[in-house]
Amino acid sequence: MRNENNIWYNIDWTTIILYLLLMLIGWINIYAAVYDESHQSIFDFTQRYGKQLIWIVSALFLATVILLIDSSFYTTFAYVIYGIVILMLIGVLFTASEVKGAKSWFSIGGFALQPSEFSKFATALALAKYLGNRSSQRMITFKDQVISAAIIALPALFILLQNDTGSTLVYTAFILVLYREGISGNILLLGFLTVIVFIVTLLFGPFSIGVMTVFLAIAFVTLTYHGLKEFFIAESAAGVLLWIASYFNLPQKYLFFTALALVMIYFFVHLFNNKLNYRKEKRWVAFIVMTVLLFITSIDYVFYNVLKDHQRTRISVLLGEEDKIKSQIKDLQMRLDTLPTTDANYTYYKQTLAEQKQSLKDLQKGALWNVKQSLIAIGSGGFSGKGFLKGTQTKFNFVPEQSTDFIFCTVGEEWGFIGTFIVIILYVMLFLRLIFLAERQRSTFSRIYGYSVASILFFHFFINIGMTIGLAPVIGIPLPFISYGGSSLWAFTILLFIFIKLDSERLFVLR
Amino acid sequence: MKHLEDRKYIIGAIFVVFALIFIIRLFYIQILSDEYAIFSEDNVVREETVYPPRGLIYDRKNKLLVYNEASYDLMVVPKQVKSIDTNAFCALLDITKDDFIERMNKAKEYSFYKPSIFEKEISAIEFASIQEKLFAYDGFFIQTRTLRKYSDSIAAHVLGYIGEVTPKTLEKDSFYTMGDYIGKSGLELQYEKLLRGKKGKRYVLVDVHNRIKGKYKNGEKDISPQAGKNLQITLDADLQKYAEKLMRKKLGSVVAIEPKTGEILTMVSSPGYNPNLLIGRAIKKNYPKLAKDSLHPLFNRAIMSLYPPGSIFKLVQSAIALQEGVITPNTGFACNKSLVGCHNHPYARNVREAVKMSCNPYYYQVFKRLIQRGENKNIFIDSRIGLAKWHDAVLKFGLGHKLGIDIPGEKSGFIPDVAFYDRWYGEKRWAFSTIYSLSIGQGEIGVVPVQMANLAVIMANRGYYYTPHFIKQIEQLDTIPQKYTFKHSTGVDAQNFEYIIEGMEAVVNEAGGTARRAKIDSITVCGKTGTAQNPHGEDHSVFIAFAPKENPQIAVAVFVENSGFGGTWAAPIASLIIEKYLTGKISNPQKEKRILEADLIPKSEHAQRK
């Protein structure tokens, strides 16, 4: 029986318990992160753990309010809420002052609010509303795709204008939602491949990847449609060309464009000449090779011209920039040692060496510092950790932003593998529970919203923990329910509890 | 629909796969790899050296001579200085606001992040009042250092000084690290290994700003330092002080030794310097000044200056001649001034009178008998045989070689031998007549003042000595180095010394003696004057003595440069030292006053110094 007066009726306690556990873990670790001997009371409201307690209590209050509101409110006012948040995002651009380079905080009477945190659930609502009403439930039309993309991109764009790249990237998480709703799996795969090619290119340089792609393509085409003889001839010809080019020290750029031109000629010849043993697959191979060549040529451009300095270093740090510079320094040193001081290049090498040493120093003091100290904190936790309040990395401030973005370091250092394992398992349980809940919804709206919640939380989880253990670039976004901060805790609570409310009324709604 | 719903597995799988990657990565960095644990320790654990207190030095009466005094520097890290009450702070340090601004600017110029000295060498009392209030001033802290202090400011040459270790020593001795202090001269250098102790280690936790946060593992890995050993030395601080006072405004040296033990009671080299000038930071300023002084105050004349001994060498000649039997106690020689110059005095009928009147021709004859013994018809060969025997005998008096005293820098002196003259004149090109000036302690002979004092010891002991030394007792050790308890014999019978000592007594106490000014009514002083010819100016005056005649307690050698005849200045100084040591007071204030007032530094030197 439905009991309209009991807000606790039919809600999913598993999710709520996971939510409470994560908040508790967060609070304990915030206490450890900012702990010092002079402020020991856990209820000291001048300290972050005291403030976080206030945030937690108020978040619980907020959760209750959300549960009190009828779920039809969210479906009805989805676009209105979305509109208000967009206005706030625009407003913050004009009124906010910069905090750590980003203009994303509203300040209302000594009370700071971050609209970008709230735009996530608003976007999820709007997307759910739009796709929930789409013409065909089975598939997602091109028009639907474009409009969905616009709903997602609009707040992302304003957040990007606030200079908050981290929060902008969160919106890519909606790809998972769209995937569930019917866009081609190839898009997911393509995105994945793009990231891989991007990383590999940055690691090994575009040249080697380009050469590899061309040789592989030749091998594929010759072996599939011709014979072994042709394979050897074609590969040797390519090899000789490459050798000549490197012998004459031709710039790699020319090689690329030559290869690109050859592939394009091949492509067009096969496209328009049916007489030449035309096959569809061959055309595809040529197309892929062309795309890869174009893409890897553009990576350098994107990397050096589109990305900002700090973004670039964060990516190169992740890709082992330190070792790269170190080996370059070693190389230069060796060369200098064997070179007579009278040599014409001596001063040049010496200068380069000094420059490299300086950049290594800058790197170690700057971008590398955070990643390294965070890794040290987590790595030194061992199996069972150093114990509550005994983390030296945390206590002595080696880890930056340790109560907000790097809170996972405190977990790793003081609670060890046991702690980090438990946190990850709790998150995975939450994500899988959310998928389970989403799938049992009768309404498309609720399902889409549920997947949005899971995807957003997952993206935060992936980037935040990934950066602390050196698997993702340093992007400053909070760890849901654990990181210190009122706006983010409130926003995540609203995001989650709207879904819990929707779920609790799933049996009575059919949209 | 069915088709799309299956995508939940793929999405779920993506979540699980990434979580698994994280868990594997965490398993690797937290459990498999231990490099992060090491990095983490490197980050926060800092090894600090705990310096042991350097050993103290006491005099023979247990009076503290050298000690350590804490000194406090007020340091500032400009970056950490927050808005402070400048007026109160200035009042605390008793400086003006301008001082404050100037010092802050200087500190900022040096570095914003590194500490620099704001106020140097604050005393313990000031420190107490400053320390109490310092917490209110961020960026300021106290750094403690120890300074070596020398009470009474005496015996600089003996005690030496300490200074920062040189890069060369750092390479050789791994005990030291950059900035450590090490003995540079004197006893501080000689007994460095005893005085320095053993360094300890302390492990502390530091935060990212390098601030100390506490002990590492509750200090269980700490190693406590071992304090340096305290030394008692043979010096008599009171006597040393008195001797230094007497030697003021004079160039030269005083060495007093206890004959029975070889313990050095006093060693003065004048001009000296105040040892407290060479401590702490002041050393940088004062050392070059002292090094450039034309009177060489850093130079320890007592062990480093070679002088011809002059007439005091006649004591050695007498002893050897009696022992060798070339003369008897009653051998007399006429004062034949055609052989060698002499002053007017009665005929020396025996050894006693020869010593008393210091007759030069007498010793010409004695030395001739020692060198040309008629063992070979060829006088050249004969002289070679004689000189070789004489050389061996002289060396047994502690001359011509280093005594082995326990402060560094001792010179060996020089007693010419056959090889020397062969090189100088050619083989068989020299004989007694070539080298006769040795007979009266002139010519190619060099003796350092401590050897002269040792000669007085030999006289006092009637034929033996212990290597003069300073070390009396080492803390926690029962013995002093063996070489200082080894009795060196001259090979001359004690009886033979009695005849000479009679003469030495007469030198001081009889009419016609050369050192009547050394006479003390209550004590029988035995002495011998000497005058070392100085080709560069006024002769050097020397006097050696011991007292009392029976059971001697003190042997002393006084050497005063450019002061003429030995009896005039050196003798009274020696007698004052003897009297002071034996009785503790001075019976003849007139004598003392004359010495204290005398300025015997050559006029040319005075002029040069100005």
What percentage of residues in chain A have a pLDDT greater than 70?
89
Over residues A406-457, the pLDDT tens digits come to 999 999 999 999 999 999 999 999 999 999 999 999 889 999 999 999 999 9
Over residues B145-168, the pLDDT tens digits come to 788 889 888 999 999 999 888 888
Tell me what the mean pLDDT of segment A466-478 comes to.
89
Position B133 scores a pLDDT of 81
CA–CA dist A473, A195 (Å, integer):
13
Nearest to A397 among B8, B31, B207 (CB): B207
Position A37 scores a pLDDT of 67
Contacts of B37 in chain A (CB under 8 A): 379-380, 382
Contacts of B27 in chain A (CB under 8 A): 417
Contacts of A431 in chain B (CB under 8 A): 12, 15
Answer yes or no: is pLDDT of A401 > 50: yes
Nearest to B206 among A185, A396, A428 (CB): A396
Q: DSSP labels for B327-395?
A: S-TT--B---TTTS-------B-SHHHHHHHT-HHHHHHHHHHHH--SSSSSHHHHHHHHHHHHHHHHH
Of B263 and A4, which is predicted with more confidence?
B263
Judge: B43–A379 Cβ closer than 8 Å, yes or no.
no
Structural domains for chain B = 49-233 (3.90.1310.10), 237-609 (3.40.710.10)
Position B91 scores a pLDDT of 84
Helices (H) and strands (E) in chain B, counts: 24, 18
Contacts of B26 in chain A (CB under 8 A): 378, 412, 417, 420-421, 424, 469
Band (B1; pLDDT cuts 50, 70, 90): very low
Whether the bond into B53 is cis, omega within 30 of 0: no
Is the CB of A179 inside 8 Å of chain B's CB atoms? yes
Whether the bond into B271 is cis, omega within 30 of 0: yes
Band (B294; pLDDT cuts 50, 70, 90): confident
**A441: nearest CA partner in chain B:** B5
Is the CB of A266 inside 8 Å of chain B's CB atoms? no
Contacts of A465 in chain B (CB under 8 A): 22
Band (A511; pLDDT cuts 50, 70, 90): very low
Integer Rg of chain B from CA: 35
Is the CB of A187 inside 8 Å of chain B's CB atoms? no
DSSP at B30: I
Judge: B35–A379 Cβ closer than 8 Å, yes or no.
yes
**A379: nearest CA partner in chain B:** B30
Are residues A87 and A100 in contact, defined by beta-carbon separation less than 8 angstroms?
Answer: no
Residue with the two structure tokens 């606030």: A162
- Name the nearest CA neighbour of A349 among A330, A362, A324: A330
Q: Which two tokens stand for residue A85?
A: 């948040």
The count of other CB atoms within 10 Å of the CB of residue B537 is 11
Judge: B40–A380 Cβ closer than 8 Å, yes or no.
yes
Position B231 scores a pLDDT of 94
Query: Helix or strand or coil: residue A373?
Result: helix
Judge: A424–B1 Cβ closer than 8 Å, yes or no.
no
Our CA dihedral for B99, B104, B109, B113, rounded to 10 degrees, sits at 160
The count of other CB atoms within 10 Å of the CB of residue B223 is 13
Band (B610; pLDDT cuts 50, 70, 90): very low
Residues 13-42 (A) with a CB less than 8 A from some CB of B: none
Q: Which two tokens stand for residue B540?
A: 């050097």
Judge: B1–A466 Cβ closer than 8 Å, yes or no.
no
Q: What is the mean pLDDT of chain A?
A: 83
Q: In the beta sheet, which residues pair with residue B488?
A: B465
CA–CA dist A299, A318 (Å, integer):
17
Q: Which two tokens stand for residue B465?
A: 């000595």
Judge: A379–B29 Cβ closer than 8 Å, yes or no.
yes
CA–CA dist B396, B464 (Å, integer):
9
Position A473 scores a pLDDT of 85
Is the CB of A398 inside 8 Å of chain B's CB atoms? yes
Which residues contact residue B522 at a Cβ distance below 8 angstroms, ignoring those fewer than 6 apart? Answer: B583, B587
Band (B230; pLDDT cuts 50, 70, 90): very high
Mutation choice for B interface testing from A187, A374, A396 by most B CBs within 10 A: A396
Edge-to-edge strand list for the sheet holding B45-50: B45-50, B200-206, B212-215
Position A3 scores a pLDDT of 52
Element (H, E) at B116: strand B116-122
Q: Where are the beta strands (DSSP E) in A69-213?
A: 106-107, 112-113
Over residues A142-189, the pLDDT tens digits come to 888 899 999 999 999 999 888 888 889 999 999 999 999 888 887 887
CA distance B23 to chain A (A): 7
Judge: B12–A182 Cβ closer than 8 Å, yes or no.
no
**Backbone CA torsion sign across B519, B523, B528, B532:** negative
Are residues B428 and B381 in contact, defined by beta-carbon separation less than 8 angstroms?
Answer: yes
CA distance A143 to chain B (A): 19
Contacts of B11 in chain A (CB under 8 A): 176, 179-180, 435, 451, 454
Tell me what the mean pLDDT of segment B539-562 comes to.
92
CA–CA dist B570, B255 (Å, integer):
12
Cβ contacts below 8 Å, chain A against chain B, sum to 120
Judge: A396–B33 Cβ closer than 8 Å, yes or no.
no
Band (A273; pLDDT cuts 50, 70, 90): low
Judge: B26–A417 Cβ closer than 8 Å, yes or no.
yes
Contacts of A176 in chain B (CB under 8 A): 11, 14
Over residues A313-330, the pLDDT tens digits come to 777 777 777 888 888 888
Residue with the two structure tokens 């231990």: B34
Contacts of B14 in chain A (CB under 8 A): 176
Band (A1; pLDDT cuts 50, 70, 90): very low
The count of other CB atoms within 10 Å of the CB of residue A83 is 13
Are residues B545 and B527 in contact, defined by beta-carbon separation less than 8 angstroms?
Answer: yes
Q: Which two tokens stand for residue A46?
A: 């001048």
Q: Can you say how many angstroms the Cα of residue B407 is from the centroid of all Cα atoms in its chain? A: 5
DSSP at A46: T
Judge: A375–B40 Cβ closer than 8 Å, yes or no.
no
Judge: B4–A176 Cβ closer than 8 Å, yes or no.
no
Judge: A424–B209 Cβ closer than 8 Å, yes or no.
no
CA–CA dist B18, B29 (Å, integer):
16
Q: DSSP labels for B395-457?
A: HTTT-SS----SSTT----B---HHHHHHHH-TTS--HHHHGGGGGT-SS-BB-HHHHHHHHH
Through-space distance between the first and last CA atoms of chain A, rounded to whole angstroms: 21
**In sequence order, which ranges of B462-565 are alpha helices (DSSP H)?**
494-509
Is the CB of A421 inside 8 Å of chain B's CB atoms? yes
Is the CB of A119 inside 8 Å of chain B's CB atoms? no
Is the CB of A380 inside 8 Å of chain B's CB atoms? yes
Is the CB of A180 inside 8 Å of chain B's CB atoms? yes
Q: Which two tokens stand for residue A127?
A: 């997307």
Task: Give the 3-state DSSP-derived string for A422-444, with helices as H, strands as E and coil as C.
Answer: HHHHHHHHHHHHHHHHHHCCCCH
Q: Which two tokens stand for residue A258?
A: 């030559």
Nearest to B33 among A180, A379, A431 (CB): A379
Is the CB of A189 inside 8 Å of chain B's CB atoms? no
Nearest to B27 among A417, A428, A435 (CB): A417
A21-31 burial, b at 16+ Cβ within 10 Å, e below that, comes to bbbebbbbbbb
Nearest to A179 among B7, B15, B26 (CB): B7
Of A78-87, B84-93, B465-474, B504-513, the least confident: B84-93
Judge: A380–B1 Cβ closer than 8 Å, yes or no.
no
CA distance A275 to chain B (A): 41
CA–CA dist A503, A118 (Å, integer):
21
Over residues A294-308, the pLDDT tens digits come to 777 777 777 777 777
Judge: B40–A458 Cβ closer than 8 Å, yes or no.
no
Contacts of A480 in chain B (CB under 8 A): none
Q: What value of ipTM does the predicted structure carry?
A: 0.86
A490-500 burial, b at 16+ Cβ within 10 Å, e below that, comes to bbbbbbbbbbb
- Using a CB–CB cut-off of 8 Å, the residues of B that contact A are 1, 4-5, 7-8, 10-12, 14-16, 18-19, 21-23, 25-27, 29-31, 33, 35-37, 39-41, 43-44, 205-209, 213
Tell me what the mean pLDDT of segment B262-268 comes to.
95
Q: In the beta sheet, which residues pair with residue B116?
A: B76
Residue type, B363: Y
The count of other CB atoms within 10 Å of the CB of residue A232 is 11
Of B266 and B345, which is predicted with more confidence?
B266
Judge: B30–A381 Cβ closer than 8 Å, yes or no.
yes
CA–CA dist B382, B448 (Å, integer):
30
CA distance A416 to chain B (A): 7
Band (A82; pLDDT cuts 50, 70, 90): very high
